[in-house]
Structure 1
Amino acid sequence: MPIQVANPSPAPQGHHHQRRRGAFGGPMTMNHHHTSSKKSDKPACGDSTLNLKNVFLRAMRHKLFKSKKSRPKTPVDLVSHTTSLLSYLNSASYYPTTGHKHTGKIAELDVLMRELKIILYGNGESEPTAEACAQLTQQFFKDNTLRLLIICLPQLNLEARKDATQVVANLQRQPVNSRLIACDYLESNLDLMDLLICGYEDPAMALHYGGMLRECIRHQTVARYVLKSVHMKKFFDYIQLPSFDVAADAIATFKELMTRHKSTVSDFLTDNYDWFFVEFNSKLLQSPNYITRRQATKLLGDILLDRSNVAVMVRYVSSKDNLRILMNLLRESSKSIQLDAFHVFKLFVANQHKPSDITNILVANRSKLLRLLASFKIDKEDESFEADKAQVAREISELVATGSIGNSAELANLSC
């Protein structure tokens, strides 16, 4: 009789659990209700980035709108904002301050100095307008911005310093209602010249302050103040500073002081002849530096040959010590120094009222001087120079010693 195998009973419907074989044959129970995952409260990475981007854009829009709204536009606004920032730098509570706020204001001044310069000088696209320049100039001096700028200049970046120097230079020549109001301002603030002159003692600031100073002494009142100031003697030291650029700038300013305003210079030299030429001869004409000697010799000729300084010239060429210095300069290997020295030396010879010691020195050294003049040639043909040289040689040849010429050996020490 065949064996019957009963079919297994089907699993009950609707049962919450299913029994499955695990990997090792054991039963594994799964609860369908608990395996349904909940939606995470944490936003997806893309959503987070989008939110941050929106926040950033809103902040930037607010910043740009605010900046656009507060950005100065007119020349008056630019100057006022510049003055405000310079006042911040000059404030004792902030100086010397660092940090983002301070750096930001320095950066703003970089931009403002450039914008002020563009108004005054124009750029490649537009020329300066008289109205804008006048508005800027008037506000600049009204707000006392020049004083703040000079005081705070060391705190500015290099490019801003350069722009500021050009701005100050331009303002000295800007008319407002047909008047140079810069001159009026400086007459009431002459102490600023003391700051500018002493700027030569700071190598980092010397060229900027020197450039400003030269423009300011275009005004005769300012030049007179500087000439009479205690700082005038300092130029003889500044001209000998080891930095070539600073020394060259100092002598450029010195030359401007000694040649621009004729009547003022004449009065100064008359009142200060003794100490001035002692310093000039010893520190400049006899300087070990070739450039200094060359520039000083040229400047001496410019001073003495100016008609306003006739009395000073006569006094200078009546000194045997001065003659000795000029005769030595005639021996220089540099043709430039020789030529400039010759133009001063000929004044000693041409003087119709030579003191006897001047005449005797020229007579004692006649042969040497005539040989030197005969061999003295310049690179370019110059009929005027040749005529002057011939006249000087003729004058020396015709000189007659007055009285006893003294000890020839002593005179030889004064010779070339």
Structure 2
Amino acid sequence: MGFSHIFLRNKTKITPVEIVRETQRLLLCISSDHGLKQEEKKKEADLKQEKKAAAALAKNIRALKSIAYGNDESSAVSRACAQLTEEFFRENTLPLLIVCLPKLTLEAQRDATQVVANLLRHKVQSRLIASEYLEKNTDVLDLLVAGCGNMDMAIQYGEILRACLRHQSAARYVLESPAHLKKFFDYIQLRYFDIASNAALTLKELLTRHKYSLVPEFLSKNYEWFFADFNSKLLESSDYFTRIQATKLLGHMLLDHSNSAVMARYVSSRNNLRIVMNLLRDSSKCIRIKAFHVFKLFAANQNRPFDIITVLVANRSKLLRFLADFKTDKEDECFESDKAQVMKEIVALDPRDHESYE
């Protein structure tokens, strides 16, 4: 297909359906051109045509954005948005856009990301078409998960993936694919900030968004491997960014009432207590504060196993001294109240009833 035959036609009015089809034709052309002429330099005419196609595509994407969000003069029209959404997913435009995204300008990438995020949450006659689409086209999620490890595109792919993960079917697919989830454990440890920060946001979305059914079910079924990896790779990482993001996320998970069964299991582990107590000694005050909010769950647990009690008793003096001097940068009545309760619980432990553990 030649570039010259697929540019947006010069019409005063063009329907959402036509814009999507024109956009898809451009995407198909650009994607099929990708990788050609590897063994020789492209001719000047080919480069001009490719540049012209990219410009036309950027124009189309701006038109899609105008329909999806409206512009300065008019708000988005629901009928046009519905037509746009139906056509976008019916014609399987999303995977093409994902593949071609790196070839667009930064502005066009931003526009495309916003358009996709809008269409992913748009309802058509009370139906979430995007949710149905993602359930049948999980290869899209495969592309996005892999793209989150791309140094140049992690932010854009991450934003699109998180918009997908708002749909429970998409989140379930990623969570139930251990290879996918473990990739984010690897991504967050990388030295590339865009990849690591994006991975932290995506992990939080995965593990806190669908908290009344999907997440507790996943954590219960996958408790052993998940927390073994979470502890060793993230909480015990030598990298500050990884540790602080993991400590924040652990608090989000365990302090949510929907995860009460998982929390009870986590705070019954002596190894978990050891890790959290080490975080209380971290050089970062921010990490120490986040770790305290997890540690208080161990102290407040009225069904403490014997080995948890022995650790707390053996370290009681050190813990009480630490907590007495432990303060936040700003006055925080809730924090002080929690701290006082933790100290009370530790003082109440009777060392004569338990063997000392060092």
TM-score normalized by the length of structure 2: 0.90
3-state secondary structure, aligned to 2:75: coil
Q: Which runs of 5+ in 2 are unaligned?
A: none
Following the alignment from structure 2 to structure 1, what is the Cα–Cα distance between the partners of residues 34 and 332? 65
The 5 Å alignment of 1:186-205 reads 186-205=134-153
- The reply to whether residue 105 of structure 1 matches residue 105 of structure 2 is no
Following the alignment from structure 1 to structure 2, what is the Cα–Cα distance between the partners of residues 282 and 119? 47
Following the alignment from structure 2 to structure 1, what is the Cα–Cα distance between the partners of residues 18 and 350? 75
- The reply to whether residue 161 of structure 1 matches residue 109 of structure 2 is yes
Following the alignment from structure 2 to structure 1, what is the Cα–Cα distance between the partners of residues 329 and 105? 46
- The reply to whether residue 130 of structure 1 matches residue 78 of structure 2 is yes
The 5 Å alignment of 1:250-329 reads 250-262=199-211, 263-329=213-279
Q: Which amino acid aligns with 2:126?
A: S
Q: Structure 1 residue runs of 4+, over 3 Å off?
A: 66-72, 92-98, 401-404
Following the alignment from structure 1 to structure 2, what is the Cα–Cα distance between the partners of residues 219 and 200? 18
Count of paired positions:
344
Following the alignment from structure 2 to structure 1, what is the Cα–Cα distance between the partners of residues 350 and 30? 71
Following the alignment from structure 2 to structure 1, what is the Cα–Cα distance between the partners of residues 242 and 235? 7
Residue number in structure 2 paired with 1:91: 32
Deviation by residue 1:261-305 (Cα, 9 ceiling, x = unmatched): 011111111111111111111121122222221121111011011
Following the alignment from structure 1 to structure 2, what is the Cα–Cα distance between the partners of residues 276 and 153? 32
Percent of residue pairs identical: 58
Residue number in structure 1 paired with 2:15: 74
Residue number in structure 1 paired with 2:89: 141
Deviation by residue 1:141-163 (Cα, 9 ceiling, x = unmatched): 11111121112222222222111
Residue number in structure 1 paired with 2:192: 243
* Alignment check: 8 A CA contact 1:287 1:293 kept: yes
Following the alignment from structure 2 to structure 1, what is the Cα–Cα distance between the partners of residues 230 and 164? 24
CA 1:312 to 1:402, structure 2 compared with 1: closer, same or farther past 3 Å? farther
Structure 1 position 335, deviation (Å): 2.8
Deviation by residue 1:115-169 (Cα, 9 ceiling, x = unmatched): 1112212233332221221111111111111121112222222222111111111
Structure 1 position 255, deviation (Å): 0.4
Higher radius of gyration, 1 or 2: 1
Residue number in structure 2 paired with 1:378: 328
Structure 1 position 107, deviation (Å): 1.2
Following the alignment from structure 1 to structure 2, what is the Cα–Cα distance between the partners of residues 180 and 402? 61
Residue number in structure 2 paired with 1:362: 312
Structure 1 position 256, deviation (Å): 0.2
Aligned Cα root-mean-square deviation (Å)? 2.1
* Alignment check: 8 A CA contact 1:359 1:401 kept: no
* Alignment check: 8 A CA contact 2:267 2:297 kept: yes
Q: Which amino acid aligns with 2:23?
A: T
* Alignment check: 8 A CA contact 2:8 2:19 kept: no
Greater shift in the superposed pair: 210-219 or 394-403: 394-403
CA 1:170 to 1:122, structure 2 compared with 1: closer, same or farther past 3 Å? same
* Alignment check: 8 A CA contact 1:86 1:152 kept: yes
* Alignment check: 8 A CA contact 1:286 1:293 kept: yes
Following the alignment from structure 1 to structure 2, what is the Cα–Cα distance between the partners of residues 101 and 368? 71
> Larger relative contact order (C-alpha < 8 A, sep ≥ 6)?
2
* Alignment check: 8 A CA contact 1:117 1:166 kept: yes
* Alignment check: 8 A CA contact 1:360 1:402 kept: no
Following the alignment from structure 1 to structure 2, what is the Cα–Cα distance between the partners of residues 146 and 191? 11
Following the alignment from structure 2 to structure 1, what is the Cα–Cα distance between the partners of residues 125 and 336? 51
The 5 Å alignment of 1:30-45 reads none
* Alignment check: 8 A CA contact 2:8 2:22 kept: no
Deviation by residue 1:361-397 (Cα, 9 ceiling, x = unmatched): 1111111100111101112222222111111101101
TM-score normalized by the length of structure 1: 0.78
Residue number in structure 2 paired with 1:387: 337
* Alignment check: 8 A CA contact 1:363 1:399 kept: yes
Following the alignment from structure 1 to structure 2, what is the Cα–Cα distance between the partners of residues 190 and 72? 35
Out of 213, 233, 253, the position equivalent to 2:161 is 213
3-state secondary structure, aligned to 2:247: helix
